[in-house]
Structure formats: C-alpha cells, structure tokens
Structure 1
Amino acid sequence: MATDKDKAATLAAASDFIDFLNASPSPFHAVHEASVRLERAGFQRLSEKDDWELQKHGKYYFTRNGSSIVAFVVGGKYQPANHQSGFSIVGAHTDSPCLKVKPISKKENVGYLEVGVQLYGGGIWHTWFDRDLGIAGRVMVQQNDGSYKHTLVHIKKPVLRVPTLAIHLDGSVNEVFKFNKENHMLPILATTAKSVLNAVDATTENNGPDSDQTKKHHPALIHMLAETMHIDPTQIGDFELCLFDTQPATLGGVNDEFIFSARLDNLGMSYCSLMALIESSASSVADDPNIRLITLFDNEEIGSTSAHGANSNLLPSTLERILSSSVDGKTLSPNTSMKVTFERAIHRSLLVSADMAHAVHPNYAEKYEENHRPHLHKGTVIKVNANQRYATTAPTSLILKEIARQRDIPIQEFVVRNDSPCGSTIGPMLSAKLGLRTIDVGNPQLSMHSIREVGGVDDVKHGIHLLKAFFELFPSVDSKIIVD
C-alpha cells in the first residue's frame, strides 16, 4: 500500500511533468526546457562543431537544429580502450502531431483573415476543431550586425481557431464528421472589419532576403510575433511555427489521477528519460563502465528521416565522437582500431526506445488483445511485435524485466491484435542501423494523437524510476544474460 511519502513523490513528479508540458508547446521549446534542466543539474554544453575533452563522471549535452538534444554522463570506470565499456541509451522524440504555418500563409475569405497551415504527422484532426489555439516555435531574428539568431516565441493567447460548421447546415455531422483537410482546416485569425493591423503599410525597407514577411503572411500575425518578441517586424527573417492548444496541461479526475494534456506522445517519455538521466547522474556513477546517454529526436511523427531525426547520423556520429574523444586527457592509442572499438562497444550496449503506449480503452476494450491490455497507473509497458514494428526481443525484454524486478518497479506487456494495424517507433530503425540491441517501451495513455490526451499520474514516477534503474543496473544485469 502506498505511503504518504510515496503519494507525495508521485504527485511531485506529475506536477513537475505538467510544468514541463506547459513550457514545451513545440519541439524547440522542449529542447530549450530540457537544456535548462540539464544545466541546472551541472551538465556542460558541448557543440558538434568543436573538439570534445571529456572527464570521467562528466556530464554533457548538445543540441542539433534546436529541436533535438543529446545528453550523456561518463561512467567512473569508462575504459573504451580495453573494450569493457558500452552505452546505456534511452531514445525518445520531441515532436507531436500539429498544425504548422505554411511558408506563405496569408489567406482571406468572406471577411475573415485565415492562416494557411500544413498538417504535421498523423493527428486525430477532428479534435483540432473548436479549440483555442496559440502559436509557438522559432523565429530567425536579424541582429544589429546583420546575422540571424534562432529565437523562441510562445504566444499563449488564443489567437486562432478552426470553427466547425453548425449542425443546422450539416445534419449528418453527428453520424460521420467529414471535412477536407485543405479547405476546412483553415484557422481564423481575425475579421477584416476589426483587423486594424491588416491596414499597416507593408512596404517597409527590405533589409535582407524576404525580410518583409508581411508580403507572405498577414501583417496582423507578423506584428503580433514582433510585439511578443520585442523586435521590429523587419527583423523577422523566417520562422517555423506550430499551433497548439492553449488549455494548459492539468491534473484531472475526481482523485487527481489523470493528466489531461496535449503532446503526451511523446513528451511523456522525453521527460522520463531526461529526469532519469539527471537523477542517476547525481549518484552511482563511480562504478559504471558505460556511458549513460539520452537522445531526444525530432521528426519521429513523420518517419524520422531528417538531419535531426532518428534516421540521421545523430546517434551513430555521437557514439563515435565519444569513443574518439579524450577522457581525462587520454585518447585511444594510434594502434587501436576505431572500427573495432565502436563495434565492440555497440555489443555491450542497449537502447531503450521510449515512446508512449496504448492503455486499454474502457469503451473499446474489444480493440485490444485480451491478454495484453495495459492499464493506467500500473507501470511502463514493454511493447512486442512479431513483425518487428517494435524491436523488443526475448533477451532485451528479460534484461529490463530483471532490472524492474530488482527495484520492485511495475511493468506491463503489450501486443496488438492480429486483425489490427500496429504503429512503430525509432526502435527498429536504430536497431537495424547500428546492430544495436533494443527494447521498445512506453507509458500507457488514452487518446493518442488527439489534441488532448490522457495519462496516468502514477506512471510518470514509474517511468522515471524504470529508466533510472536501467542506467544504474544495466551493465551488471547484462553480464548475466548470455546469447552470443
């Protein structure tokens, strides 16, 4: 039975996660928030452009594109030269399905100013109708010296909305909600009658290529961005903006047992990965021969094929970079083969692919295989698929189960029905790319890919504890699992 101390710890983890969610309306904000937390925990920022000089017990991180982040801790007994070291890796992703502003978004129709958007990922798009939408992302802002700087913007005010058609004009709407994704998912920004800024003269001096964004976007939108960022509109060189639900993440249910929020998939496992690394880095590193590493990728929802997605060189190049870097002033000897060192390290490594899982739905229980129905509050889910949509194998599953057993952490298992499609993750992709043992896991949730999802309060703590235990126990447990 849970003690008052356990309940307080559970609520504290859930509340902190809610803060993380509300601070992360876009992948750029999620990476920024992760960076702030890492630096607060003593992690040192690196750059892929520079040489790395590492130290045992050292804590490091770097970002790519501002939307992906890698953080790692060097174990106290890390010794790549004697081939006794590997990597304890957790991978997750920062992106979620959303609406993104088009490069030329200015639209006007029957007295309304509308914003052209692209559909990013596989969202449940009907849930985006009649929601109060804000705008967030990054803006390339021109500086006084003519350079452009990646700068975050977060407009929390509900400034956009995709309205539904009244039932009086579409009597079939309660039977099947049909809509055209191009024509009917245009958010309204303002009316022409009230939009004073729409009359602003857009013929300002051009200070660079496409610097006058009011030619491509409504002046009202550009001026709102500029005012929020305290810059001149002509400083806006370009941007990547997504729409988000302005209703904050919150606890819900009569017992405050649910988390109601957008972007649980996959900020849920990004948060658990981040906090597990931070918490494990505060202790138990001295005897670890491995590198403890998290990598939070962008673009998983659209297949991961980008310069900063899981199908890029981000993880492989990071692992090679660490192995080739000096540690405590020592590097691999010239006679040591980097190829052999890398391959031997890979075979002492494990990737936990952490992406949210499906909780059993009370109104659609028949959609779940009867012996594999994960529940909220009952622990992180190990995901298995015979067709390798998930990369879990018997050995990798056994390793994590043994880690969970040693720390008394609850876990569940999931497979889809044979008559049901199955999603996939970064797990199979990275497993194949690197020849890396992999297990797919995730905390259970409802309403995946809706604008408003549902998670369990207890599972935040369960996820952190499981991944923290993985970082701390993997080398010792792995030594007892014999396959090849």
Structure 2
Amino acid sequence: MAALKPSAPEIRKAAQEFVSYLNKAVTPFHATQELKERLVQAGFQELPESGHWDIQPKSKYFVTKNRSAILAFAVGGAYKPGNGFSIVVGHTDSPCLRVKPISRQKSDKFLQVGVSIYGGGIWRTWFDRDLSVAGLVIVKNGDGMLHKLINVKKPVLFIPNLAIHLETDRANFKPNTETELRPILESFAAAEINGQNQNNKEEPPKSEYDPRNIVSNHHPQFLGLIAEEAGCKPEDIVDLDLYLYDTNPAAIVGIRDEFISGARLDNQVGTYTAITGLLESLAGDSLQSDEQIRMAACFDNEEVGSSSAMGASSSFTEYVLRRLSVGGTSTAFEEAIGKSMLISADQAHAAHPNYSVKHEENHRPAFHGGVVVKVNVNQKYATTSTTHAALKQVAFEAQVPLQVMIVRNDSPCGSTVGPLLATKLGLQTVDVGCPQLAMHSIREFADTSSILQATTLYSKFYQRLSAILSGMQ
C-alpha cells in the first residue's frame, strides 16, 4: 500500500467508486439511503430502533435514526457481552443552504426561495452556481403519512453575483447571508406566461383548519416541482426538509487523474470509508474468531455541534452499545468500554501551497501522503499517545502511511465528534482524516489515494484491534 503510486489501478478504482457514491449522496438522507443499500447487498439486516433485538454471533446488522444517521455492526463469532467494540465514525452532513419553512420571497420582478445557512460554509462559493434541491418530503397517505426522498437533479435555483462595477468594496466580498444569499427561482415574466403572475399578488391565506396544509408557505411553482418529484399533489405535502446543492458532479481531475473535485468531501469521505472499511474487513474469515463487535457509525448534525437525536452528542450510541451488551453481567457495558477503541474519521487540512504560513512548520499533511492523525493538546481532537500508538501498529500491519497534524499556536482549531464521544462514553479515541483543500467550500479538493488508504486502514483496524489492545501493557 505505501508503495502504490497515485496512478495505480487500485487507487483509481477505489476513488471512482467513491465519486459515484458521492454524486448520489446529495443530502444526509440520500447518503444514509445509499449506505443502507450497500449494507443490505452485503447481507446486513436492518433492526428497528423501537423493536426487540436478537443479536447473534457472526451476524451483521444496522439501525438508522431520522433517516439521516446510521450505525452498522458485525458481531464477532467469539463475541460475548462485556467484550469490546472497534468503532469508526464519520458524519453525513456538510455546510449548505436549506429551504426555510416559509420560503416565499420576491424582489425586483423575481421570485426567490428563502434559505437558511447550515454550518460554517464558505458562502461566497455558492454564488454563480447551478443549484438544485433534494431532501425528505412527508406526504399524506390516507390517515397516515409517508416519508419520500426527492432529488430534482436539474439546475433550478441561482444566486448571481453583483456586477463588480456596482461594488463599493471590490477587495472584500462578504455577502449578507440573510438578504444577499437568496436564490432566484423564476422571473415574473415567466410566471405570467404560465398563468402564475406573482406581481402585486396577495399571498393566499393559510388554512385555519388544517395545519398540515403548507401550500401558502411556498411559491406554487416551487412546491409543484417538489410534489412532482414526490409523486403527489402539492396539497398532500405535510412537511419538507430540503437542501440546496451544486449540480456540477464530482469528478476525478488533474493531468494525472490524481485529484477528486466535488462537494461534501467533508465528510462523505469519512462516512464512505468507515462503511467500506467495515465491509472489506468481512471479506475473509476473520470475523469467525473475533471477540469484538465491529461498528461503523455515521452521524448527522456534526457541522452544527452534534446536539440532536441523530447527532454524536445524543445518547443514541450509548443505547445501541448497551443493547449489544445485554446478556452479560450487570457491568458488561462498562467492561466493554475498557476493551474498545474509536476512530473519529473526519477530513483534515492539507498544507495549502498558496497559504504556506497558515500551517505549522513540522506538521504539513500532503496529498497522497497517507491518512492524517490529528493532535491537539487542548482536546479539540481526542487523540492520545496510547491511541496514536495503537493506530501506528494498525497502519504498519496494513502498510498504510500516516501523517500527523497540529495547528499553529496562533491559529484557531476545528473539532470533530471524537472528543464528544470520548467524553460521553469514556472511549479511547484517535482523530484522523484524509487530507483536503477548500474545506467547507461548495467545491472541495482532495487526492485519489486517500480513499483506498483510509479504507484499508479501517479494515485492518476492525480485524486486528482486539489483539493489538491485548498486546499493550
């Protein structure tokens, strides 16, 4: 692995498979659905969160939360309650624009869609893009309701830049995210042609009797588009959770095909490689004698602090781990925690050639240089010397190169779900990520080698963690 060149067929194949996944995973809901389908094809059984679980050794399962988070696990053949867990976690969400509950807006002969900013995006990069909308729609179904995934796919929303001639401060571009980040949906002229003239037209009154009716909250053209994708009437839509995204697909680029250019690399890379690493760890017969449970967890809402039912700060992970410890002693869960380790897989900053001074001189992660271990003595990252050493042993056995990064003392530092889960569960944790540039832009930039490197590292971690921890005194 360490000797593979960026042009190696194995690297290209792994990167291409990831790009194919990425172009389908346009929202956390779509990412979770794609992962579910891969797990089912690999023989995993879906468990109901609210139902009884009958967990058996050598079996494979997954459970979802809010349709936007997923935990998958494979039970070792020698597992007994009280044994440990080998866990790799990522997150399904990325900074983006999301449609407001009441989105009807208009100005200067244009119909617009009101959006909220989600996470810490580089919002200037959302201008002059061909945007579409996707997400979850809840519709009436007799006396009940159905959840439906929708993806419009074609460009339907646009945020044009202001002409530079009209800018008073041409050197600095800091858009007002409330008033200047409003996508255009349609012109009044087009609306007139289609018999939907919105000029000086009063908004239709809201229903006094049916709070499920949201027709008056959105432009009829917009809600009609969503209803068509959902296969229902606009008046049947009860609620929606919609995300904007760039329709320009992710791609493998560069004169040597060595880069990945696309949206949501942070953190679909971590999510995809965690699940893929779990699946690849099952290719042989190592699970038959494994004493642990191998788990890949992909949470939602990391970009806004993880404080949600489907986020890493919730008790959901603890509840799952406790249910897997049923049948042992009264302290089986606590015993298992001491035999476990978690990898928090979230993207890392590569050293930027145009902003060299922003990076610490001895810690400069490079493309194709390997998975990056993230260290911060102030616990923005959860890596310790013990967990770093254990991962080094995994990397040696997998022959996957590692890099290490810290931020400068005079620089701010991001964080991950690693410290949250380490604190909440008492789990030994190491923070890692694949190197990338343009983090939180609508178009991010990474290397092709990372996908295979991370997948191989996590696969070996699942297979060897129990033995490696037992050998550490």
Coarse TM-score class (shorter-chain normalised): over 0.9
Aligned to 1:365: 356
Aligned to 1:480: 471
Kept after mapping to 1: 8 A contact 2:58/2:76: yes
Deviations 1:180-202 (A, max 9, x none): 11000000000011022635999
Kept after mapping to 2: 8 A contact 1:26/1:137: yes
* CA spacing shift, 1:47–1:180, aligned 2, 3 Å: same
Kept after mapping to 2: 8 A contact 1:60/1:71: yes
Aligned to 1:312: 314
- Mapped partners of 1:168, 1:199: distance in 2: 32
Aligned to 2:113: 115
Q: Which amino acid aligns with 1:227?
A: E
Aligned to 1:328: none
Q: Which amino acid aligns with 2:176?
A: N
Aligned to 2:65: 64
- The worse-fitting range, judged by mean Cα deviation, of 281-290 and 18-27 is 281-290
Aligned to 1:396: 387
- Mapped partners of 2:195, 2:225: distance in 1: 9
Residue 74 of structure 1, CA deviation: 0.1
Q: Which amino acid aligns with 1:451?
A: I
Residue 146 of structure 1, CA deviation: 2.3
Unaligned runs of 5+ residues in structure 2 are none
Q: Which amino acid aligns with 2:118?
A: Y
Kept after mapping to 1: 8 A contact 2:7/2:257: no
Q: Which amino acid aligns with 1:176?
A: N
* CA spacing shift, 1:382–1:150, aligned 2, 3 Å: same
* SS of equivalent residue, structure 1 residue 159: coil
Q: Which amino acid aligns with 1:420?
A: S
| Equivalent of 2:189 in 184, 189, 193 | 193
* CA spacing shift, 1:281–1:198, aligned 2, 3 Å: farther
* CA spacing shift, 1:151–1:171, aligned 2, 3 Å: same
* CA spacing shift, 1:350–1:222, aligned 2, 3 Å: same
* SS of equivalent residue, structure 2 residue 361: coil
Aligned to 2:147: 150
Kept after mapping to 2: 8 A contact 1:74/1:291: yes
Aligned to 2:302: 300
Residue 307 of structure 1, CA deviation: 0.8
Aligned to 1:346: 337
Kept after mapping to 2: 8 A contact 1:63/1:70: yes
Deviations 1:145-202 (A, max 9, x none): 22111110101111001111001111532x1112211000000000011022635999
Q: How does 1:213-232 map to 2 (within 5 A)?
A: 213-232=214-233
Kept after mapping to 2: 8 A contact 1:213/1:222: no
- Mapped partners of 2:439, 2:59: distance in 1: 37
- Mapped partners of 2:84, 2:93: distance in 1: 28
Deviations 1:428-472 (A, max 9, x none): 111011111000000000000000000100111001000111001
Residue 282 of structure 1, CA deviation: 2.8
Residue 4 of structure 1, CA deviation: 9.3
Aligned residues: 466
- Mapped partners of 1:381, 1:205: distance in 2: 53
* SS of equivalent residue, structure 1 residue 139: strand
Deviations 1:313-351 (A, max 9, x none): 111111001111xxxxxx33xxx31xx211110000001
Deviations 1:91-143 (A, max 9, x none): 11000000000010100111000111100000011111111100011000111
Kept after mapping to 1: 8 A contact 2:306/2:313: yes
Matched, 1:184 2:175: no
Residue 303 of structure 1, CA deviation: 0.3
Deviations 1:352-380 (A, max 9, x none): 01100001101011110111000111111
Aligned to 1:23: 24
- Mapped partners of 1:229, 1:29: distance in 2: 14
After TM superposition, what 4+ stretches of structure 1 lie above 6 angstroms from structure 2? 3-6, 200-208
- Mapped partners of 1:42, 1:8: distance in 2: 28
* CA spacing shift, 1:441–1:4, aligned 2, 3 Å: closer
Q: Which amino acid aligns with 1:305?
A: S
Q: Which amino acid aligns with 2:166?
A: L
| Equivalent of 1:432 in 405, 423, 428 | 423
Residue 213 of structure 1, CA deviation: 2.5
Residue 231 of structure 1, CA deviation: 1.5
Residue 14 of structure 1, CA deviation: 0.5
* SS of equivalent residue, structure 1 residue 54: coil
Aligned to 1:88: 86
- Mapped partners of 2:209, 2:421: distance in 1: 40
- The worse-fitting range, judged by mean Cα deviation, of 220-229 and 258-267 is 220-229
Q: Which amino acid aligns with 2:152?
A: I
- Mapped partners of 2:5, 2:88: distance in 1: 31
- Mapped partners of 1:361, 1:187: distance in 2: 31
Kept after mapping to 2: 8 A contact 1:204/1:212: no
Aligned-pair identity in percent equals 46
Aligned to 1:167: 164
Unaligned runs of 5+ residues in structure 1 are 325-330
Matched, 1:413 2:404: yes
* CA spacing shift, 1:268–1:3, aligned 2, 3 Å: closer
* SS of equivalent residue, structure 2 residue 287: coil
- What is the TM-score when the length of structure 2 is the normalising length? 0.95
- Mapped partners of 2:250, 2:15: distance in 1: 11
* CA spacing shift, 1:154–1:207, aligned 2, 3 Å: farther
Kept after mapping to 1: 8 A contact 2:188/2:197: no
Deviations 1:29-51 (A, max 9, x none): 00000000000111001011110
Residue 6 of structure 1, CA deviation: 8.2
- What is the TM-score when the length of structure 1 is the normalising length? 0.93
Q: Which amino acid aligns with 1:27?
A: P
Matched, 1:275 2:276: yes
Kept after mapping to 2: 8 A contact 1:207/1:234: no
Q: Which amino acid aligns with 1:402?
A: Q
- Mapped partners of 2:3, 2:78: distance in 1: 36
Residue 52 of structure 1, CA deviation: 0.5
- Mapped partners of 1:207, 1:118: distance in 2: 27
* CA spacing shift, 1:405–1:383, aligned 2, 3 Å: same
